[in-house]
Amino acid sequence: MATFFSLLALFIGLVAGVVSLTFAMAWYEYANRDPQLLNNRLALRRLLFSMALIAVETTCLTLTILLQPLGWLNRKEKVSTGEQQPIIFLHGLFQSPACWLWLKFCLHRQGFSNLHTIALPPWKDVEILTERLANRVDELRQTNGRKKVHLIGHSMGGIIARNYLQIRGGAQKVDRCLLIATPNGGSKLAPFALSSLGRLLMPGSPFLQRLATTPLPPEARISTIYSRHDNMVLPYEHARLDGAHNIELSGSGHTSLLFRRRVLRTIVDQLKEERL
């Protein structure tokens, strides 16, 4: 038992180290862009805020990593045949469907029962992953009897949702698309990703340029939810999307947005909003 807790403490320490490093890189970027940030950077209030930010992000990232094996299980999800539109969750790079467990639980308590996830392995090509999404959309539409679905994507999952909507012609089949902490303009930390998908997320990549120059489809209502303290989307402004409804939060890191109550309320409000 002592060995287990020692290994767990080592694992949490490694996660905390990675999280701290990403926040340090973000601080370096913003401080060079705006030297005024150096003023009072060692003030007690700012130090406590930074420590809390790192602690919460470390906790949330550790939890999602430990839950990853649950996302590998090939469990058959129940398909509702009621009036609710299916909601498909798309996880981020190096995550698994298990990262949505908390949000799905909360949405279920809010009355949403037609909830579905897709596994998006990081070693697959983006077009293969998009095709997997397209097949799932068609399957749920046929089984459920609804013409459209909702998409909720976190990080890279949001990019796959956009590829499906803008490039692959899926807009007619999607009602609402919510992008959480999605690097729509890329991230300067993308070169550190140990996956070919990371190259797609580099600012100015041909893939992102193609998405940027392709008009957003008016059929699908697209919203972004992002944090100005995101430690992975660098700079955080790259999570914004021109032409979409952008909702900026603060005080949350990249993964902790998935556990934040404000994000849940925003998602519920967006899903319940009637089309004009």
Strands (E), the chain: 87-90, 115-118, 149-154, 174-180, 221-227, 245-249
- The two tokens of residue 263 are 């994000």
Instruction: Judge if 62 and 104 occupy the same domain.
Output: no
- The two tokens of residue 204 are 């100015």
* Residue 173 covered by a domain: yes
Helix (H, G, I), strand (E, B) or coil at 175: strand
Instruction: Judge if 168 and 110 occupy the same domain.
Output: yes
Question: pLDDT tens across 159-218, in order?
Answer: 999 999 999 999 999 999 999 999 999 999 999 988 889 999 999 999 999 999 999 998
Instruction: Judge if 225 and 133 occupy the same domain.
Output: yes
Domains in the chain, number: 2
Instruction: Judge if 159 and 187 occupy the same domain.
Output: yes
* Residue 123 covered by a domain: yes
* Residue 243 covered by a domain: yes
* Structural domain span for residue 37: 2-69
| 45, 69, 93 - which closes a domain | 69
| 69, 103, 119 - which closes a domain | 69
Instruction: Judge if 190 and 247 occupy the same domain.
Output: yes
| Alpha-carbon separation of residue 166 from 90, 146, 161, 171, 177 (angstroms) | 16, 21, 9, 7, 12
Q: What sign results for the dihedral spanned by CA atoms 217, 219, 220, 221?
A: positive
**Kind of pairing between the strands at 115-118 and 174-180:** unpaired
Residue 276: per-residue pLDDT: 45
Give the global pTM: 0.94
Please compute, for residue 266, the number of CA atoms within 13 A of its CA located in the half-sphere on the CB side: 21
Cβ(24)–Cβ(231) below 8 Å: no
Question: pLDDT tens across 57-105, in order?
Answer: 999 999 999 998 888 776 666 666 567 899 999 999 999 999 999 999 9
Distance CA 247, CA 34 (A): 23
| 33, 48, 69 - which closes a domain | 69
* Residue 75 covered by a domain: no
Residue 101's Cβ-count burial label (10 Å; 0-12, 13-18, 19+) is: middle
- The two tokens of residue 221 are 């209502």
* DSSP-assigned states of every residue in 188-230: TTGGG-SSTHHHHTSTT-HHHHHHHHSPPPTTSEEEEEEETT-
Instruction: Judge if 60 and 107 occupy the same domain.
Output: no
Residue 174: per-residue pLDDT: 95
CATH of the domain at 94: 3.40.50.1820
Residue 44's Cβ-count burial label (10 Å; 0-12, 13-18, 19+) is: exposed
Q: Which residue has the higher pLDDT, 274 or 51?
A: 51
Instruction: Judge if 17 and 61 occupy the same domain.
Output: yes
Instruction: Judge if 112 and 237 occupy the same domain.
Output: yes
Distance CA 157, CA 218 (A): 20
Instruction: Judge if 62 and 138 occupy the same domain.
Output: no
* Residue 7 covered by a domain: yes
Instruction: Judge if 267 and 156 occupy the same domain.
Output: yes
* Residue 76 covered by a domain: no
Q: How confident is the model at residue 222 (pLDDT cuts 50, 70, 90)?
A: very high
Instruction: Judge if 64 and 88 occupy the same domain.
Output: no
Residue 127: per-residue pLDDT: 96
Question: pLDDT tens across 229-260, in order?
Answer: 999 999 999 999 999 999 999 999 999 999 99
Residue 134: per-residue pLDDT: 96
Instruction: Judge if 255 and 179 occupy the same domain.
Output: yes
